[in-house]
Amino acid sequence: MNAIISASDLAHALTGPTLPVLLDVRWQLTAAKASGEPPFDGRAAYEAGHLPGAVYVDLDRELASAPGAGGRHPLPDLARFGAAMRRAGVSSRTPVVVYDGGQGWAAARAWWLLRWTGHPDVRVLDGGLPAWEGPLETAVPAPAEGDFAPEPGAAGLLDADAAAELARSGVLLDARAGERYRGEVEPIDPVAGHIPGAVSAPTTENVGADGRFLPADELRERFKNLGVSQSSPVGVYCGSGVSAAHQVLALAVAGIPAHLYVGSWSEWSADPARPVAVGPDPQ
């Protein structure tokens, strides 16, 4: 099953006998500005217009736990996550399509969590809301309660020690912007740099100018040039496990399974005992 769906294919699916559950996960990594402008409000954006029947999911509250020792977006409490999915109408035998405002990071986080906890049929709307050409609605639906019960998988998740080991024995991709990887700037976390051995692979290079994923063969070539092969284990991290989920999604489009280090740099850099590398070279 493909991990993404085009807007035209989604429009067709919404006329079929088995309607997918639509999750709106609009989110941005923003902060209040000095001018007094408030940070991005995903729920307000949702209420202003969303795909017909879509239910809003809050990334910070339902797809992550509160920031702490595990990073800025640690894994959510699974009971809370499961309740949020059931409230949205998610059932184990019903397809799910997730979208966001177009960046794809938040939608990928929801996709990864649902896949990791056992849902068999989840896809991300390629290009997000900007790719949708159909009508929008402002009414907030009240779907029937779903039955999805999250059951975490044994694979697919890295902790800090496993990420460090994978940087030595496989390929660990750093999905952040290149300047953050090199340690030239660090606007959020306490230390600049990257995990020793990790390879710079900015998430933004997985998509075209329209925000849609590059074709699968181009993605395979991109990852091959970064040292990824079908035989090597692959892991991804970013700042807090959100944009890295988008990289895991891109790898899935390319047919390459990958693990996610959810704590990512926000967890790694908070521990003074963890080594830090700077500059363009992995080491």
Q: Which residues are catalytic?
A: 238
d(CA 105, CA 49): 20
For tokens 């953050």, what's the residue?
180
Tell me the residue type at 205: E
Closest CA relative to residue 174, chosen from 272, 59, 277, 99:
277
Inter-residue contact 123 to 2 (CB < 8 Å): yes
Nearest one of 181, 153, 133, 187 to 257, comparing CA atoms: 153
Taking the CA atoms of residue 98, residue 100, residue 102 and residue 104 in that order, the dihedral angle to the nearest 10 degrees is: -60
Q: How far is CA 132 from CA 30, 49, 207, in A?
A: 24, 12, 17
